[in-house]
Amino acid sequence: MSDTAPAPPATPPLRIALAGLGTVGVGVLRLIETNRAIVEARAGRPIEVVAVSAREAGRQRGIDLAASDFVSDLTALARRGDVDVVIEAVGGAEGAALALAEAALGAGKGLITANKAMIAHHGLRLAQLAEAHGAPLAFEAAVAGGIPVVKGLREGAAANAIERITGILNGTSNYILSTMEATGADFAEVLAEAQAKGYAEADPSFDIDGIDAAHKLAILAAIGFGARIDFAAVSTSGIREVRAADIAQARVLGFVIRLVGVADCREGKLLQRVRPCLVPTSHPLAHVTGATNAVVAEGNFSGRLLFQGAGAGAGPTASAIVADLIDIARGTAGAPFSLPAGALAPMARADPGHRVGRDYIRFTVADRTGVLAEITAAMRDAGVSIESLIQHGRASEDGGEVLVAMVTHEGPERCVTRALELLEGSASLTAAPLVLPILRD
């Protein structure tokens, strides 16, 4: 009889199908190959990419795909019997990405995605489908790239009642605003530069109009407050109307301008907004420049937590995807929105008019007598108290437009809304006023 104990049975590999071989998909494959020893040691089992899919099969991507089957039909890819987890790197809220996600979860496969639009619009239904079929659903990379903010809220801050989530969630907008701040250039000039450098898309609407940030905020709010995800409830405005003069005036007042997503829940009502704001220089978000993302979460016991880092790019996004892969390999993925889908609460939308705060308001007005009196009268009649008022110089020697900026004292938001209603249609205003909330320190 041999005294040698039998070797323990080999742990079966985790078998992966990857859909999408663009920047993110190729980044995932490179990370797995480069860090294979680390990834597999932490996963506790081998990782095998058994199948891939992309629009073009034969295109050179600088990575060896010989060991993986190429499957053109995404539904067939998702339902393969030799696949445990599907990584979706196709993109888009609907269409092929959603069909792949539904097929994978419906077949009991784990699903990992970086697709914030799909999760923002369909996350609740996908979570329900995942639960029904006992399949893990993970999307760390959908919010803030490589920053582990989803895991941080869902696990690290799990013992806390989250009181408020505030974040710079779009790198393109932050790059534009911080570059305007550093150079004094105006929006259109910096946007063109960002497009030339590849920081902004040819059609930058999703970024500069706040939609991308709103997708991410809706996801964070659902996790942080145990709410059913409700993208339609996110009030969104972008940065197109921010001028170099606004940024210069903010600096004089001790602020910077950032596109900020804010979510908080009071008395069971959820407020979700993405807006350019004046941020005090003492606030952590004031020092976030370039294409960086940052999220501040405030827990009732943890206090203020700051998550900061690269919000996009092949490396950071791949890092978050493979981190989810390791969790699934370990069997520790957990509920995607922190609670079981059936326990997520349908929360009423908060009325922003009751919120109390300060605002920066900029008017573009005709350079003529009586304009200031008209504006201040509207503020008085609406109950808005003015802390300071600044009139910029003439636009030209013989009249034209001038900028009038003011900072309000703290008061209900409905009063500022009423003041602007009183001024609506005024011949003195040559453009819609710009209202930037002042973020609390």
Which residue is it, tokens 């809706």? 218
Taking phi first (over 0 means left), then psi (-120 to 50 degrees means alpha), and beta for anything else, what does residue 4 get? beta
| Structure tokens belonging to residue 248 | 């210069």
pLDDT in tens, 277-295: 999 999 999 999 998 999 9
Residue at which a domain ends, from 310, 333, 367: 310
Percentage, residues of the chain above pLDDT 70: 96
**80, 190: one domain:** no
259 in a structural domain: yes
Tokens standing for residue 304:
């203020």
Does 138 fall in a domain?
yes
CATH number of residue 102's parent domain: 3.40.50.720
Q: Of 310, 334, 367, which residue constitutes the final position of a domain? A: 310
User: Is residue 285 located within the same domain as residue 373?
Assistant: no
| CATH code for the domain of 222 | 3.30.360.10
Task: Specify burial of residue 252 (Cβ count, 10 A radius: 0-12, 13-18, 19+).
Answer: exposed
**Per-residue pLDDT reduced to its tens digit, 361-380:** 999 998 888 889 999 999 99
> Nearest 5 degrees, angle CA 162-CA 255-CA 396?
140
Give the number of domains in the chain: 3
**What is residue 354's predicted lDDT score, i.e. its pLDDT?**
86
Please indicate, yes or no, whether residues 35 and 111 belong to a single structural domain of this protein: yes
Domain holding 59, by residue range, is: 14-142
Q: Which of 116, 151, 216, 269 is catalytic?
A: 216
Q: Give the C-alpha separation, 15 to 37, whole Å.
A: 16
Q: Are residues 153 and 274 in the same domain?
A: yes
**276-299 CB burial, b ≥16 within 10 A, e <16:** bbbbbeebbbbebbebbbbbbbbb
Residues 25 and 123 placed together within one structural domain of the fold: yes
- Going residue by residue through the chain, which has 441 residues, state the pLDDT in tens, using 9 for 90 and above: 455 655 455 689 999 999 999 889 999 999 999 999 999 999 999 999 999 998 877 677 778 888 888 988 898 999 999 999 999 999 888 899 999 999 999 999 999 999 999 999 999 999 999 999 999 999 999 998 888 999 999 999 999 999 999 999 999 999 999 999 999 999 999 999 989 888 888 899 999 999 999 999 999 999 999 999 999 999 999 999 999 999 999 999 999 999 999 999 988 899 999 999 999 999 999 999 998 999 999 999 999 999 999 878 888 999 999 999 999 999 988 899 999 998 998 999 998 888 899 999 999 998 888 889 999 999 999 999 999 988 765 544 445 788 899 999 999 999 999 999 999 999 889 999 999 999 987
Pair (69, 200) in one structural domain: no
Q: Is residue 327 part of a domain?
A: no
Report the greatest alpha carbon distance in the chain: 107
My answer on whether 125 and 206 are in the same domain is no
Mean of the per-residue pLDDT values of the chain: 91
Per-residue pLDDT tens over the stretch 318-332: 999 999 999 999 998
At which of 142, 163, 189 does a domain end?
A: 142
Q: Do 153 and 135 belong together in one domain?
A: no
In a domain, 339, yes or no: no
Residue 83: inside a domain, yes or no?
yes
Within-domain flag for 3:
no
Helix, strand or coil, per DSSP, at residue 304:
strand
Contact (CB, 8 A) for 14 and 328: yes
Taking a C-beta distance cutoff of 8 angstroms, is the pair 151, 177 a contact? no
DSSP 8-state symbol, 337: B
What is the residue type of 134?
G
Task: Supply the pTM of this predicted model.
Answer: 0.91
In a shared domain, residues 364 and 401:
yes
108 backbone φψ class: left, alpha, beta (φ>0; ψ -120 to 50): left
316 belongs to a structural domain: no
Output the domain CATH number for residue 423.
Answer: 3.30.70.260
What does the DSSP 8-state code read for residue 279?
E
Q: Reply yes or no on whether 151 is catalytic.
A: no
In degrees rounded to 5, what are phi and psi of residue 421?
A: -65, -40
Helix (H) or strand (E) holding 14: strand 14-19
Domain membership flag for residue 318: no
H-helix or E-strand spanning residue 52: strand 47-53
- 265 with 401, same domain: the answer is no
Residue spans of alpha helices (H) in 198-313 = 205-208, 211-225, 244-253
- Amino acid (one-letter) located at 82: D
The predicted pLDDT at position 68 comes to: 86
What is the model's pLDDT at position 199?
Answer: 82
Whether residue 242 sits in one domain with residue 161: yes
- On whether both 18 and 116 belong to a single domain, the answer is yes
